[in-house]
Chain A
Amino acid sequence: MESMSALAGGFSAAFGIYNLLFCLLGCLLGTLIGVLPGIGPLATIAMLLPITFAMDPLTSLIMLAGIYYGAQYGGSTTAILLNLPGETSSVVTCLDGYEMAKRGRAGAALAIAALSSFFAGCVATLFIALLAPSLAAFSMQVRSPEYVVLIALGLVASVVLSRGSPLKAVAMALLGLLFGTLGTDVTSGETRFVENILPLYDGLSFVALALGLFGLAELLSNLEHPEARGTLVGRITRLWPSLDDFRQAWKAVLRGTGLGSVMGLLPGSGAAVASFTSYVVEKRFAHDPSRFGYGAVEGVAGPEAANNAAAQTSFIPLLMLGIPGTATMALMMGALMMQGIAPGSAIVTTNPTLFWGLIASMWIGNLMLLVINLPMIGLWVKMLSVPYRILFPSILLFSCIGVYSLNSSSFDVWMLAVFAAAGYALRKLDCDAAPLLIAFILGPLLEEHLRRALVISRGSPMIFIERPIALGLIICVVALIGLIILPSFRAKREEAFHE
């Protein structure tokens, strides 16, 4: 089978000494980021982006991907030990994980989290390896008209599945769309909102936007509420789960893996939503739901499996279709494009080493993470207890350096300040910035593809119905919107977020 030999080729590339080294580095960094509350993989990947330009594309992608799914592993560590979600998707792990720790079962909780994640990671990687080639052939058919519908689907999904008030999510997405129009319009060559300021010709700096709205807004919030960072470090007793734990958890792991693998494919959902959904599902399926919230092992196993599976499969829409499912994926896409690699249709044929090397390294990375997380817990927790008054200036500094070094542009650093202020304001107003960021990336793409499709079809909108895939996708979008309108679906979504 062609894909098997390609995968073998990918493994040999991934086992190259540099790639292994950077995979390890990425996993270590990712774990560190996951462990440190206040930093998510988004900020660090944004920070490291400029550095990856000097590296081989496969190596840089391996490292960034390692950071990304490494953060999922690390996030559960602080969630369990300190009731502090290192990552948005670890929020759910806090619920039962911390309870287990309070009962002296931190070791079991940590081990279950790591093992579930490892299992899910392996299965998801296999999933990608087997399914990806058919997606590749299919995606050659995906051109501008299909992209339009897919991106519209992504935009709608990101709003539906984001936190908080749906109305505010829509407003944030619209704001993101508006920010996205700033710059040079591809189809006409005209500039919008630029006022002849040269650095704005290429639009707002995505990294400044992401770091400002997410990383620095979080930093400001932590400075305002120092008590939210409570640093009690309890004792870790036994490291290994009991046989009972395994018996209770294995079904949750399977369900979580399946759920996460599928949800990772949908643009706009990703790891966070997968873990929320898994928790809700586990609670429904449990023999004794009252255990949940008091240290139920399934409440850790399921969501952890889900978020790691989603983290792996969310690379499929990115690599195969060129659609970033989450804000972090959008950054990865930026990383790829700045290396001159256009993700999408042809990537399996034009860059087979890149593609298969990445997939192989995901499996290797999962293994590395398992080996890292189990013994190194002590060290991570030590770093957590660095007083914030020393930690936060460092975070701020690295954000500034990262943003500057992207384009050697101090203008971008000014933008960082503006967006940090904006992010702070949005938090005060209880607005989730995630739809804004996703819309900022997807909006201009949507407009570009829409207008290009119309230019090529000479103005005929029939193009969206004539092409079968586009038509099929339109039906999906309509169905999804229908689901939103159904009140029962909305209530379930609210429930999942408020639990």
Chain B
Amino acid sequence: MGPGYFPVLIALVLAMVGLIILFKSLRSHAAAIERPVLRPLVFVLAAIVVFALSIERFGLVPATIAAIVVASPASREFRWSETIALAVGMAAFAALVFIYALSQNMPLARF
């Protein structure tokens, strides 16, 4: 029972279950899958990626500001003034809590 045993077994059973679900869905009259709304998805994912790219290279403060600025347009009620205020406020708060209060392992800001 080597390392490949379980993954192959699981994959086979999963494939079978997938087929059964497929057949059942073809026969049933269940509701259609909801259409994805792109706006929140794109901005939220982009914000996470921006954070991942900037946290080590630039530090917590820039990464925080960038993430919040990129994420905020995901909501339809987005306003620039609030976003900037939130970004700066959160950056300060996060720096205080994570780096000063909790001594976490991340750079504050570097250029």
Indicate if the CB atoms of A178 and B41 lie closer than 8 Å: no
Indicate if the CB atoms of B1 and A451 lie closer than 8 Å: yes
The 8 Å CB contact of B71, one of A187, A387, A388, A392, is A392
The 8 Å CB contact of B2, one of A50, A188, A392, A417, is A188
The verdict on A216 contacting B44 (CB below 8 Å), with A175-B14, A393-B72, A417-B49 known, is yes
| A224 on the B face (CB < 8 A) | yes
Q: Hey, which chain A residues are within 8 Å of B26, CB to CB?
A: none
Chain B proximity mask over A390-429: 1 for CB below 8 Å, otherwise 0: 1011101110110011001011011011001100100011
Indicate if the CB atoms of A424 and B36 lie closer than 8 Å: yes
Indicate if the CB atoms of B82 and A420 lie closer than 8 Å: no
Q: CB within 8 Å of B: which of A202-247? A: 216, 219-220, 223-224, 226
Interface size, chain B (Cβ < 8 Å): 56
Q: Quick one: closest B residue to A405, CB to CB? A: B104
| A458 on the B face (CB < 8 A) | no
Nearest-neighbour CB distance to chain A for B105, whole angstroms, equals: 5
Chain B proximity mask over A166-190: 1 for CB below 8 Å, otherwise 0: 0110110011011001000101101
What number of residue pairs across chains A and B have CB atoms under 8 A from each other? 151
* Complex: A188 Cα to B53 Cα, angstroms: 35
Indicate if the CB atoms of B44 and A223 lie closer than 8 Å: yes
Indicate if the CB atoms of A413 and B36 lie closer than 8 Å: no
Indicate if the CB atoms of A220 and B44 lie closer than 8 Å: yes
Q: Hey, which chain B residues are within 8 Å of A397, CB to CB?
A: 51, 64, 67-68, 71, 90, 94
Indicate if the CB atoms of A405 and B106 lie closer than 8 Å: yes
Chain A proximity mask over B61-97: 1 for CB below 8 Å, otherwise 0: 0011001100110111111001100100010001000
Indicate if the CB atoms of A168 and B49 lie closer than 8 Å: no
| A389 on the B face (CB < 8 A) | yes
Indicate if the CB atoms of B7 and A396 lie closer than 8 Å: no
Indicate if the CB atoms of B10 and A177 lie closer than 8 Å: yes
Q: CB within 8 Å of A: which of B1-58? A: 1-4, 6-7, 10-11, 13-14, 17-18, 20-21, 24, 33-34, 36-37, 39-41, 44-45, 47-49, 51-53, 55-56
Q: Quick one: closest B residue to A55, CB to CB? A: B102
Q: Hey, which chain B residues are within 8 Å of A393, CB to CB?
A: 47, 67-68, 71-72, 83, 86, 90
Indicate if the CB atoms of A167 and B82 lie closer than 8 Å: no
Q: CB within 8 Å of B: which of A410-454? A: 410-411, 413-414, 416-417, 420-421, 424, 428-430, 443, 447, 451, 454
Indicate if the CB atoms of A174 and B10 lie closer than 8 Å: yes
Q: Quick one: closest B residue to A407, CB to CB? A: B105
Indicate if the CB atoms of B17 and A174 lie closer than 8 Å: yes
The verdict on A181 contacting B71 (CB below 8 Å), with A220-B44, A224-B37 known, is no
Indicate if the CB atoms of A220 and B11 lie closer than 8 Å: no
Indicate if the CB atoms of B41 and A192 lie closer than 8 Å: no
| A54 on the B face (CB < 8 A) | yes
The 8 Å CB contact of B53, one of A177, A192, A410, A421, is A410
Q: Hey, which chain B residues are within 8 Å of A405, CB to CB?
A: 98, 104-106
Among all A-B residue pairs, the 5 with the closest Cβ atoms: A223-B40, A413-B52, A389-B75, A417-B48, A174-B14
Q: A51-B102, A393-B86, A410-B52 are in contact. List 15 more A-B contacts (CB 8 A).
A: A167-B17, A168-B21, A171-B18, A174-B13, A174-B14, A178-B11, A181-B7, A219-B44, A389-B78, A393-B47, A397-B67, A401-B94, A405-B105, A405-B106, A417-B49
Q: Residues of A with Cβ closer than 8 Å to B?
A: 50-51, 54, 167-168, 170-171, 174-175, 177-178, 181, 185, 187-188, 190, 192-193, 216, 219-220, 223-224, 226, 387-390, 392-394, 396-398, 400-401, 404-405, 408, 410-411, 413-414, 416-417, 420-421, 424, 428-430, 443, 447, 451, 454
14 examples of A-B residue contacts, CB within 8 angstroms: A171-B18, A178-B7, A220-B41, A387-B77, A397-B64, A397-B68, A400-B55, A404-B51, A405-B105, A408-B106, A413-B48, A417-B45, A420-B44, A430-B33
